[in-house]
Amino acid sequence: MSNINTYFTDFLQDIRLTENQRNDLKRGHSTLRDRLMSDESLSKYIVTTFLQGSYRRSTAIRPVGDKRADVDVIVVTKLDRNSVTPQKAIDLFIPFVEKHYKGKYRVQGRSIGIELSYVDLDIVITSAPS
């Protein structure tokens, strides 16, 4: 039975993110979140940010080849979901990503994807519950 445990432990070690990858993800999302909260134009709309997805749940697996791990950053705003369309919300964030991530972002439907050399970040904008 101990061989099975060893094989399983080895398997997990082979597919989990490395310490360097985890550090890169943390650096990427921490920098993004700090920039969002201190941005003069956006901070007045932002209630909080939090992480979601496989990175947050500690179920992210090591990317293969030239792919990078990703982090989903949820931005909870004071924007009124009844009067501000998803596109208008995205448009509010475009000057921010132009300033900090010019040439490294793309709008992906209702989120903004940022591609850095060491991590992919997704900004998902939502409104606070009423």
Positions marked active-site = 70, 72, 122
Q: What is the C-alpha separation between 123 and 57, in angstroms, rounded?
A: 17
Q: Cα(112)–Cα(105) distance, rounded to whole angstroms?
A: 7
Residue (of 9, 89, 77) closest to 49 by Cα position: 77
Q: Report how far residue 42's alpha carbon sits from residue 45's, in angstroms, rounded to the nearest whole number.
A: 6
Going by C-alpha positions, the residue among 12, 113, 124 that lies closest to residue 77 is 124
